Chains A and B, each alone.
Chain A
Amino acid sequence: MTTAVVGSSLLVDLLSAPRPAEWTSLREAAELRLAGRALPATRDEDWKYTDLKALAAGAFGPAPKTTVDISGHLLPEMVGTRQVFVNGHHAPHASCASAVPAGVRYFPMSHASEACHALGSVGNGAAKGLFEDLNTARFEDGAVILVPKNLKVALPLHLLFVTKAESPVAVFPRLLVVLERGAELELVEEHHGEGAYLSCPVVEVHVAEGAVLRHERVQRESPEAFHLATLKAEVGKGGQYHSRTLSFGARLSRQEPRVRLAEGAEATLDGLALLDGVQVADTHSFLHHAEPGATSRQLHKCIVDGRARAIFNGQVLVAKGAQGTDAQQQSRNLLLSEAARVDTKPQLEIYADDVKCSHGAAVGQLDPEELFYLQSRGMNADDARNLLTYGFAADVLTHVPVASLRRSLRQLVMARTQAGSLGDLA
């Protein structure tokens, strides 16, 4: 490349921080791939609408060990199943895993590195993303969850990644989830923070044959934060991976879920982004139907207000020989202001012939028939609009399995959709 490389100094700065202990060969390989690379620019098709200039202009130091008050984030169903990481470091005093059933390994990686042999192996073969490599090169600690064969874990596990940035810092949350054959687990992964920072989480998920993982992902980063997340999941024969990613915070966020489905596997990849001000939320998903008979469902919803911008790029790849694939994708977007903007693009590549694939994208305003229905029951136009906007978002929350989490998310949606004046809808 002959042009000046935007933000190359950011990567150099981040990599100049000392390399943490352990996983040296993984880290070295990542550093090697990063050498000489630059931050993606909008001339890259994959980053066309997501401008990283503001990120490139920042300087983010290593995140110091610190403590935070997490009492506001505790959920009654999960008080005894929580692991908390603050600024990328495990926070033992804030964590409590006493209710986790025997047999489940649920530790900070720094305590159980021998259990992490699967680290870095999901999606091997496919090129690694830049932010994924950055995480591998510099993550301090992370969580590992191993659920043995046929164990169905009754209580959901709660993972909190909290960032407290007094000056701008970079954090690299890391998570490895391995479900052995027939295992079942519910997992809530939350990201919170205050101050200006860059968070680059990487989540790796192995769901073995017949195993089931339900994964709730809540992004409530600070309004000054950048959140650039990678999720890679491999779902074995007849296994199920159901995830819901809820993006509320961050000035700029990007979700890159990549899921590979083996024969007869099932995946749900739902998403909700609530944006206003000058927020940007980008989802670039990749669903790989690698083998026959797998099913995928994807519903992605955005509510965009102010001058905010939402981007959705949903790639679905049906491999040659993946007969009987059933893939459905929906992107639905609500624009609440003139200056709000959505760019949505389904991207289906189908190399098998006996498949059921559908996709749809809608960008618009509220449905006048729905508005009238509510008005005919006595609600004025503003209340009806606010209620429908709330419902548009809350629809994605209907099946959140943990009651207290569902309630707090609904309250958050109420606050963000001006539905607060309508009383308690949660």
Chain B
Amino acid sequence: MLSIRNLTASINGTPVLKGIDLEIKAGEIHAIMGPNGSGKSTLGKVLVGHPAYEVTGGEVLYEGRNLFELAADERARAGIFMGFQHPIEVPGVSNAAFLRLAYNKKAEAEGRDELDPLEFDDFIHEKIKLVSMKEEFLDRSLNEGFSGGEKKRNEILQMAVLEPKLAILDELDSGLDIDALRVLGDAVNKLQRPDRALLIITHFPRILETIQPQFVHVLSGGRILKSAGKELATELEDRGYDWVLEEAAAGGAR
């Protein structure tokens, strides 16, 4: 589904990604862990086309197409979604109107029928149940004044509405209470299908007990230093990142 080959990217002229290789197949769940500032969010934002980042080298194929030929909105309509670490607030635009618009734009692109406000009402009520969101959040302005956890819940609601093929979830778990973490973890699992894939960015193994990845990657200094199975998450929890860095340095020296 997604092949990243020797991807490099920079922001304001500073290189952040320094050669990323990653292969994600349909049905797979991947986790990326790594120290603060290592480039995890950057990788996600480059994949969804954030304009502040400049791709300086390498290539990314999404379903066989050159990802960088698609604008951000085209990538979204082609099925790529990122749940942001810090979702943006948009005053004056009601959450419900925004969700309906986003849904209909995607439906239009896929040649499906658009939903009118009444039909959408039924549709969205099923979706808010999935993420246990209170109805009043639909009438509020998009993310405005939402708590950190409420914003994350709203990101997963958007994911449930858009049903992406590839979802990148950046620190979904930060700012979530224990119950919310379980509810949203379950919701993400319910949305996962054999023809879809997930890329989970996190600092904590806890969320990976609910959303169980087949692959865990350590990203540090803009490179993936180590990839292994899900047991790597707990090992990192116990031992920190230093040993991975040392191992990589030794490997590089050899």
Which residues of A are in contact with B by a Cβ distance under 8 Å? 368-370, 372-381, 383-384, 387-388, 390-398, 422-425
Contact = CB atoms under 8 A, between A and B. Distances in A.
B158 A372 contact: no
A370 B144 CA distance: 12
A381 B102 CA distance: 13
Contact of B100 (A369, A370, A423): A423
B72 interface: yes
Contacts of A373: 84, 87-88, 90
Nearest to B73: A375
A398 B207 CA distance: 36
A395 B51 contact: no
Most chain B CB atoms below 10 A, which of A377, A381, A390? A377
27 contacts: A369-B88, A370-B88, A373-B88, A374-B98, A375-B71, A375-B76, A377-B98, A377-B162, A378-B73, A378-B106, A378-B109, A379-B73, A379-B102, A381-B71, A381-B73, A387-B93, A391-B91, A391-B92, A392-B91, A394-B93, A397-B92, A398-B92, A422-B101, A423-B100, A423-B104, A424-B117, A425-B101
Given A377-B102, A378-B77, A391-B141, A372 B72 contact: yes
A384 B88 CA distance: 13
A380 B92 contact: no
Contact of A393 (B82, B92, B106): B92
Contact of A378 (B51, B76, B92, B141): B76
Contacts of B33: none
Contacts of B104: 423
Interface of B: 48-52, 71-73, 76-77, 81-82, 84, 87-88, 90-94, 97-98, 100-102, 104-106, 109, 117, 141-142, 158, 162
Given A372-B50, A379-B102, A392 B92 contact: yes
Contact of B141 (A377, A384, A395, A424): A395
Contacts of A384: 73
Top 8 closest pairs, chain A to chain B, by CB: A391-B92, A395-B92, A394-B92, A378-B76, A391-B93, A373-B88, A395-B91, A375-B72
A422 B100 CA distance: 10
B141 A379 contact: no
Given A376-B49, A387-B101, 11 more contacts: A370-B88, A372-B72, A373-B88, A374-B90, A375-B76, A376-B73, A376-B76, A378-B106, A379-B105, A391-B141, A425-B94
Nearest to B78: A378
A423 B101 contact: yes
A375 B74 CA distance: 8
Contacts of B50: 372, 376
Contact of B92 (A372, A374, A383, A390): A390
A423 B142 CA distance: 17
A378 B109 CA distance: 9
B165 to A, nearest CB: 13
Contacts of B109: 378
Contacts of A394: 92-93
Contacts of A396: 92
Give the interface SS of chain A, mostly helix, strand, loop or mixed: helix
A377 B92 contact: no
Nearest to B72: A375
A383 B97 CA distance: 13
Nearest to B140: A398
Contacts of A380: 71, 73, 105
Contacts of B90: 370, 373-374, 388, 391
A378 B102 contact: yes
B97 A425 contact: yes
B93 A378 contact: no
A368 B50 CA distance: 10
Contacts of A378: 73, 76-77, 102, 105-106, 109, 162
Contacts of A422: 101
A383 B101 CA distance: 10
Nearest to B96: A425
A236 to B, nearest CB: 31
Contacts of A372: 50-51, 72, 88
Nearest to A384: B73
A425 B98 CA distance: 8
A398 B100 CA distance: 19
A390 B141 CA distance: 12
Nearest to A426: B97
Contacts of B87: 373
A377 B90 CA distance: 13
A380 B100 CA distance: 15
A278 to B, nearest CB: 26
Contacts of A375: 49, 71-73, 76
Nearest to B103: A378
B93 A425 contact: yes
Contacts of B77: 378
B193 to A, nearest CB: 19
Contacts of B117: 424
Nearest to B106: A378
A302 to B, nearest CB: 14
A378 B104 CA distance: 9
Contact of B105 (A383, A392, A397): A383
Contacts of A368: 51-52
Nearest to B99: A377
Contacts of A387: 93, 98, 101
A423 B98 CA distance: 10
A384 to B, nearest CB: 8
A375 B48 CA distance: 10
Most chain A CB atoms below 10 A, which of B49, B51, B73, B94? B73
Contacts of B106: 378
A67 B102 CA distance: 46
A172 to B, nearest CB: 35
Contacts of A376: 48-50, 72-73, 76, 81-82
